Structure 1
Amino acid sequence: MKEGQLILPDQLFHPSIHLDRNRVYYLLEHPAYFTQYQFHKKKLIFHRASMQYYADQLRSIGLRVKVIPFSSFSKTVQPYLTIMNDNIHILYGIEPADFNLKDQLNEDFKIVGIHVIWNGSSQFLTPKEWSFLLFKGKRNFSMNAFYKEQRKRLNILMENGNPLGGKWTYDIENRKKLPTKITIPELWIPTPNSYVREAELYVQKNFSQNPGNPEGFFYPITHVDAERWLHDFIVHRLIYFGPYEDAMHSDYSFLFHSVLSPLLNSGLLTPNQVLKQIFDFHAENPIPLNSLEGFIRQLIGWREYVKIIYEHIGKEQYCSNFWNHHRKLPLEMYTGRFEIPPIDQALNRVLKNAYLHHIERLMLIGNFLFLCEVNPKEVYRWFMECFVDSYPWVMVPNIFGMSQYADGGKMMTKPYFSSSRYIRSMSNYKAGQWSEVWDGLFWRFIIKNREILRANPRLTMMVHLSHTITDERRKRWDKITDEFFNTYFQNGGKE
């Protein structure tokens, strides 16, 4: 009885974990990664190039490899019949992070009579059993509580059972605006290789109508380049990551961010690998604690937390719409032409890079679509399409739980939305016509939802302030927002 090994596009772990020469290795260009949505061209290039590279790496150590292209999936079970025709009866695989995909694969292989055995993944640090015990019987799932327990469990930044430096988080210190005179390091860019060139042609041939600019691809698609990318972040940007992690700037896309998420989410890097490199460097070149803790919180805290939230309540979140938002996504989300400079520039970066850092995602794009009352499933679809690091386990909690607060507070204690003042305070954008539109949307939302917002102690001040708005100002904002909706939303944005 022959055995096979299934490898998905986000499971490109170091080839050394695959040493069984008796197995046939099947790399699937599964629709979930290629055709389920109109994926950004750079995301598709990333997956195609990294998979072709990975296939060659496996072949170089003497393994038998077959790549099953996305075109094979035009008929439901055709690619699985290919595996069956190889006389494979047992197929091993690393458990997919996407539970819907796992269920689908189990069902498809059952139809063709192939038994699948799922093994654990090195993509995450947190055992499911531990997280389920931590959150057992709780109606709400606190990131802060999880993060503290995670630090203790992993013994990271701990000293005699207490947090190093006396505080669990330095988040309050890490909210600085970018100074006028500061040098932003350039990203190290890998030399383009044959895998990227082939992938660019492949995507242009098969996905020419998808969004995004395919030119200027710059992400690592090999393990060696991924390690170099990580090293570049640690040496040149991590030192200032903390204080400026929430900063935004019209002229800079990456600032001091790591841009490691595509590599971590595809398996080219693992969290343990990142932790080791950071602390090895820190031992010789001490990193300021606010920057070190700020990044560690993202890696072992938020990233692990959203995966656990996805496993616990992801299906429920995906079906939630607490605010009853039903507007369709405007086409301008794919062109960047709202005449709102912070949004337009962010959208143009998305089209160019398939990437924004976390505050731009949350407090620009997410904030904007929330105030526009766009259906959260529409928001989710756009994020899934447009980001190189997007997968359901990432985007379901981030969109339905945080950005759009569609789950009504199971994940977060309050919705994250703001007036233009916050954006101006964290960036170099100046007030103008755009901020009038934004503030009109902001106060319109608060006035409309006073009763709901009043019940949250963290938002009562906004509700109180809404009662002080003069009739004249309110009429002016109503006129501005009506014009905005009539311009960018069908039927004036009415459901």
Structure 2
Amino acid sequence: MSGALRVVLGDQCSHSLSALDGLDPARDTVLMMEVQEECTYVPHHAQKIVLVLSAMRHFAAELEARGVRIAYVRLDDADNSGSFSGEVLRAARRLKPDAIISTEPGEWRVREAMRGWEAATGVPVEIRADTRFLCSLDGFAGWAKGRKQLRMEFFYREMRARTGLLMEGDEPAGGAWNYDAKNRRPLPRDVAPPRPQRFPPDAVTRAVMALVATRFGAHFGAAEDFDWPVTAADARAALDDFVAHRLSQFGDYQDAMAEGEATLFHALISTSLNAGLLLPGECCHAAEDAWRDGQAPLNAVEGFIRQILGWREYVRGLYWLKMPGYAQTNALEATRPLPEFYWTGDTPMACLRAAITQTRDRAYAHHIQRLMVTGNFALIAGLDPVAVNAWYLVVYADAYEWVELPNTHGMALFADGGVMASKPYAASGAYINRMSDHCRGCAFDVKKAVGADACPFNALYWDFVARHAERFAKNPRMAMPLMGLRRMAPAKLRDIRAQAAAFLESDLMKGYT
């Protein structure tokens, strides 16, 4: 072989991938690899593995239909080495390419492995920038340089101006950059969210499901109800379905939670975005077009675009700017083991039970469930960030370390000490009661902080504030809870902290064995 070996990873199922730029079908070969190491570096949810492997097989078939030569390694191939590096070495020995071309990966550990390919194979390796994102890594580093605080809001405004999304000349559409204050309504009882379009598995996906059930049957979750998009066409249909039927009310209810309502008005496209089946630009433009055509209000469209153009691009930039040390920080010195109920959902706390059970069954929970239920509990209970980060990476079908780690480590756990968030997102049961109906049927009373039936979030919240009062004394965004703490009668605070201590030592908090 005198052409290039072009490597496409499992989350790079995009025809616009930079590794494919300039591909010569007559000379080049595309290498795609299903490997054990990627399925088990954490024991991913079965649906996550099905999603990636099925998307890869469909994408390879699309390339072959265009006349591209594919070297495809299946998970159950007898001579599968089990790792990316092993398969690149095998392919280089077999095909003898004059170059290896790849797109920069999403995760630090994969990039470190990729940097060793040239020495291992003796073939020049070119690692190209991932141009599917709207902000390059160099662009983010340039934005961050010299800044004392790396706040998403200011990055987002610059990205709005740079891309022209939701802009009217030099000014933001509607005169404001952010309509978050309008996006905090609980779901009324008489509002029934429409059911999102789902995608029953075809023969390719069913074969992958059978393989995953055999190989990874002990992993968290099951693959049997899998119905995520696994092709670009289906991913686009899912996006169009959201824009047509849920975007108009997404803004109002994006922070809401409700019993029996797993998806509400959310887009359900993060699995497709993070696997490369959708591109962030097409998602943002689809939403903007809906607003300009009068199909969706500005608060909904701005909130949706902010999650992609703002948060998604920001967390990627922050991840690569701060790794590898970022993952090891533990600013709040949290060390408590992850409770067993994070894996089983077996807890009398209704909000946690709903979020975890849904996560087990669907490999999905929306951002408020992740931040203000499972994440908030982990924060105020002082759970070990390493264990919590690993859990989030295991359980969600859209989880890759570049997007999962900053959101969990920085936003939910404040383990980075404020690099990402200006304050810890700690809340008592009152927040959950305001934004959901979970508390109505809960075994605990959300209005109580002390007593056998008191909501654990209440005592844990005030214990968290008291535990870190000195640390947060100079944080202006913590002024109100610290004032509340100072005004609390000493006897009441002692009772609350005793309640928290007893709960943390109770059987409900036993760790996984």
Match of 1:407 in 2: 416
**Stretch of structure 1 that moved more, 448-457 or 302-311:** 448-457
Aligned-pair distance for 1:162? 1.0
Alignment coverage as a number of residue pairs: 493
Match of 2:405 in 1: 396
Identify the match of residue 83 of structure 1 among 91, 94, 107. Answer: 91
Aligned-pair distance for 1:391? 0.8
Map Cα deviations across residues 183-228 of structure 1 (whole Å, 9 max, x no partner). Answer: 2110101232012101110101111110002121110001111111
Q: What CA distance in whole angstroms lies between the structure 1 residues aligned with 2:36 and 2:508?
A: 31
Equivalent AA in structure 2 for residue 5 of structure 1: R
Match of 1:366 in 2: 375
Residues 151-190 of structure 1 aligned to structure 2 (within 5 Å): 151-190=160-199
Aligned-pair distance for 1:479? 3.7
Identify the match of residue 62 of structure 2 among 46, 54, 57. Answer: 57
Structure 2 unaligned blocks of 5 or more? 447-454
Aligned-pair distance for 1:476? 5.7
Q: What CA distance in whole angstroms lies between the structure 2 residues aligned with 1:31 and 1:408?
A: 35
Map Cα deviations across residues 68-127 of structure 1 (whole Å, 9 max, x no partner). Answer: 245624478532332122212411111112233112122144212232212232431013
Identify the match of residue 114 of structure 2 among 88, 105, 127. Answer: 105
Match of 2:502 in 1: 482
Residues 288-299 of structure 1 aligned to structure 2 (within 5 Å): 288-299=297-308
Q: What CA distance in whole angstroms lies between the structure 1 residues aligned with 2:134 and 2:498?
A: 49
Assess if the C-alpha contact under 8 Å between 1:437 and 1:484 holds in 2. no
Map Cα deviations across residues 329-365 of structure 1 (whole Å, 9 max, x no partner). Answer: 1222110012111001100000011111111100001
Assess if the C-alpha contact under 8 Å between 1:8 and 1:27 holds in 2. yes
Aligned-pair distance for 1:271? 1.1
Aligned-pair distance for 1:30? 4.3
Assess if the C-alpha contact under 8 Å between 1:220 and 1:229 holds in 2. yes
Residue aligned with 1:165, SS: helix
Residue 471 in 1 paired to residue 491 in 2? yes
Distance 1:489 1:328, change over 3 A: same
Structure 1 unaligned blocks of 5 or more? none
Match of 2:329 in 1: 320
Aligned-pair distance for 1:480? 5.6
Aligned-pair distance for 1:392? 1.2
Q: What CA distance in whole angstroms lies between the structure 2 residues aligned with 1:93 and 1:76?
A: 12
Distance 1:419 1:476, change over 3 A: closer
Q: What CA distance in whole angstroms lies between the structure 2 residues aligned with 1:465 and 1:277?
A: 45
Residue 95 in 1 paired to residue 114 in 2? no
Residue aligned with 1:446, SS: helix
Assess if the C-alpha contact under 8 Å between 2:165 and 2:288 holds in 1. no
Aligned-pair distance for 1:443? 1.3
Assess if the C-alpha contact under 8 Å between 1:9 and 1:51 holds in 2. yes
Distance 1:428 1:66, change over 3 A: same
Aligned-pair distance for 1:481? 4.2
Distance 1:23 1:405, change over 3 A: same
Assess if the C-alpha contact under 8 Å between 2:37 and 2:83 holds in 1. no
**Stretch of structure 1 that moved more, 446-455 or 416-425:** 446-455
Match of 1:422 in 2: 431
Distance 1:412 1:113, change over 3 A: same
Identify the match of residue 446 of structure 1 among 457, 465, 473. Answer: 465
Aligned-pair distance for 1:265? 0.7
Identify the match of residue 217 of structure 1 among 196, 220, 226. Answer: 226
Assess if the C-alpha contact under 8 Å between 2:274 and 2:398 holds in 1. yes
Aligned-pair distance for 1:279? 3.4
Q: Work out the percentage of aligned pairs sharing the same amino acid.
A: 29
Residue aligned with 1:458, SS: helix
Aligned-pair distance for 1:458? 1.4
**Stretch of structure 1 that moved more, 33-42 or 473-482:** 473-482
Assess if the C-alpha contact under 8 Å between 2:85 and 2:114 holds in 1. no
Q: What CA distance in whole angstroms lies between the structure 2 residues aligned with 1:81 and 1:315?
A: 26
Match of 2:6 in 1: 5
Equivalent AA in structure 2 for residue 326 of structure 1: T
Assess if the C-alpha contact under 8 Å between 2:46 and 2:222 holds in 1. yes
Aligned-pair distance for 1:14? 2.7
Match of 1:20 in 2: 24
Residue 139 in 1 paired to residue 148 in 2? yes
Assess if the C-alpha contact under 8 Å between 1:125 and 1:272 holds in 2. yes
Assess if the C-alpha contact under 8 Å between 2:246 and 2:267 holds in 1. yes
Identify the match of residue 332 of structure 1 among 331, 341, 346. Answer: 341
Q: What CA distance in whole angstroms lies between the structure 1 residues aligned with 2:329 and 2:132?
A: 28
Assess if the C-alpha contact under 8 Å between 1:6 and 1:25 holds in 2. yes
Match of 2:73 in 1: 68
Identify the match of residue 39 of structure 1 among 32, 37, 44. Answer: 44
Map Cα deviations across residues 44-72 of structure 1 (whole Å, 9 max, x no partner). Answer: 11011111111111111112212224562
Assess if the C-alpha contact under 8 Å between 1:240 and 1:256 holds in 2. yes
Q: What CA distance in whole angstroms lies between the structure 2 residues aligned with 1:197 and 1:325?
A: 42
Q: What CA distance in whole angstroms lies between the structure 2 residues aligned with 1:267 and 1:427?
A: 33
Assess if the C-alpha contact under 8 Å between 2:10 and 2:56 holds in 1. yes
Map Cα deviations across residues 365-399 of structure 1 (whole Å, 9 max, x no partner). Answer: 10011112111111110000001111111012112
**Stretch of structure 1 that moved more, 358-367 or 151-160:** 151-160
Aligned-pair distance for 1:32? 5.8
TM-score of the superposition, structure 1-length normalised? 0.94
Map Cα deviations across residues 219-252 of structure 1 (whole Å, 9 max, x no partner). Answer: 0001111111010000000000111111111120
Residue aligned with 1:409, SS: coil
Residue aligned with 2:276, SS: coil
Match of 2:451 in 1: none
Aligned-pair distance for 1:477? 5.4
